[in-house]
Amino acid sequence: MNILIKSAKIINKESKYHNKNMDILIKNGTIENIAKSIKSCPKLIAKGKQIVYKADNLHVSAGWFDLHANFGEPGYEDQETLSTGINAATKGGFTGVMVMPNNKPCIDNKSMFNFIKNTVKNSIVDVIPAGNITQKGEGNQIVEMHEMHKAGCIAFTDDKKSINRNEVMKIAMLYSKDTESIIMNFPCDKSIANNGFMNEGKTSTLLGIKGIPCLAEEIMVDRDLSLCEYTNCRLHISYISTKNSVIKIKRAKAKGIKVSTDVALYNLFLTDTEVNNFDTRYKVMPPLRTIKDKKALIKCLKEGTIDVISTDHTPITNELKKIEFDNAANGIIGLESAFGLLSKHIIPQIGLDTLIDKISTNPRKILKMKEVIIQEGEQANFTLFNPDLEWVFNASDIESKSCNTPFIGQKLKGKALAILNNGKFKEC
């Protein structure tokens, strides 16, 4: 199958065609030609062997990659399956996702890693399973990292189950250094968080809801940065959410510590005041913080301290979400609405080029994956999009098995139009 993309503005800093409007011809998944004008072939079109794609204000970038997504399967197929998760990613314009090991059984051994990898083989979306750091994600016993790494595992995390035992985290970091993999940890000191449900502050006090102080995150950031410096491993701090945390990470980077970090997109434009009506749709982890924290995150995103924006796509059934606030599960689905929200709220503050770095280039760099460059001879891994298209996010736009999102009915700006990856093309 040949695909001819007409008059697309290329957003790819690694490409010599960056910020230029070009035609792009792809043959059998490889970029054959990039030029100002490439003629289509009516004979091939008539035979169904060539697709010509054009759209108003068409932009193309390296395929977007989400660093944190939850697909549920196996064990939680009522929330999401690998198939519906891939559909959600496709709808949102993502050609790659890293899935968290929040399964049952979890991804704490080579067999489970291979099960996920083999199930999603040949998909248009690259699904990269992260392995657990500890057995069953319980935070006690390190998994067989070397064996899992040999099977292809490049990142280890217990996701939202923060590793609180110092000696366990130290050993995990030393093992990861040996395998040249990366440790990803969610910074939350459980003893200080003390089973809270939202950000500790004015709003939690007024509502009478038990809060999670920023200190729970910041103490763990300090711990992880110290261990990272001691072991000289690669560390990724997941879901950063407070002003003091990003200040600490900025200082660590200046010292040469091998640390990267991401922020969940909802922490960039929502605050804890959204919870005023006990709306469980806004119950997330890390919790929504204050305006002060939000502004600090945006600033550090722009200057490069924060490397990646993740969706933290977390499907939850109505039975677990539409209940009392204290008992409701944390999480928002995010793949389908991600770019529309980011284009609306974040591009005006950091620019389109920087946003694409955060959702495409940087996640792959952190994982040491092959760089995606839009030039002749390279494999085509594209997201096609219109950054200015205004549209309303409706329930019909959700491909996920769950619909736990507060954004239904909201007007968004910017939309993925199609993706191209692994020799396959699909409109979003």
DSSP β-bridge partners for residue 33 = 25
User: What class does CATH assign to 2-60+376-389+411-427?
Assistant: mainly beta
CA-based end-to-end distance of the chain: 19
State the pLDDT at residue 335.
98
- What is d(CA 271, CA 239) in angstroms, rounded to the nearest whole number? 15
Query: Per the residue annotation, which of 312, 326, 353, 357 is the catalytic one?
Result: 312
Give the DSSP letter string of 230-248: HHT--EEE-S---HHHHHH
Q: Tokens 């040249």 belong to which residue? A: 180
- What is d(CA 250, CA 100) in angstroms, rounded to the nearest whole number? 26
Q: What angle do CA 274, 336, 291 make, to 5 degrees?
A: 25
State the pLDDT at residue 45.
79
Strands (DSSP E) found in 176-303: 182-185, 198-199, 211-212, 235-237, 259-264
**Which fold does the domain 74-366 belong to in CATH?**
TIM Barrel (3.20.20)
Pair 3, 425: CB distance under 8 Å: yes
Pair 370, 364: CB distance under 8 Å: yes
Q: Encoding tokens for residue 242?
A: 């407070």
State the pLDDT at residue 73.
94
State the pLDDT at residue 49.
83
Backbone angles phi, psi at 404, to 5 degrees: -80, 85
State the pLDDT at residue 42.
79
Q: Tokens 């990142």 belong to which residue? A: 155
Same fold, 2-60+376-389+411-427 and 74-366: no
Q: Encoding tokens for residue 184?
A: 């990803």
Q: Encoding tokens for residue 180?
A: 């040249």
DSSP class of residue 312 equals: -
State the pLDDT at residue 311.
98
Question: So where are the chain's domains?
Answer: 2-60+376-389+411-427, 74-366
Q: Encoding tokens for residue 426?
A: 């699909």
Bond preceding residue 286 cis, omega within 30 of 0 = yes
User: Is 279 an active-site residue?
Assistant: no
What is the side-by-side order of every strand in the sheet holding 126-129?
64-69, 94-99, 126-129
Give the DSSP letter string of 368-412: TPPPP--STTSBP-EEEEEEEEEEE--GGG--SS----S-TT-EE
The structure's pTM equals 0.96
Each of the 428 residues of the chain gets a pLDDT tens digit; together they read 799 999 999 999 999 999 999 999 999 999 999 999 999 887 777 777 889 999 999 999 999 999 999 999 999 999 999 999 999 999 999 999 999 999 999 999 999 999 999 999 999 999 999 999 999 999 999 999 999 999 999 999 999 999 999 999 999 999 999 888 999 999 999 999 999 999 999 999 999 999 999 999 999 999 999 999 999 999 999 999 999 999 999 999 999 999 999 999 999 999 999 999 999 999 999 999 999 999 999 999 999 999 999 999 999 999 999 999 999 999 999 999 999 999 999 999 999 999 999 999 999 999 999 999 999 999 999 999 999 999 999 999 999 999 999 999 999 999 999 999 999 999 99
State the pLDDT at residue 288.
98
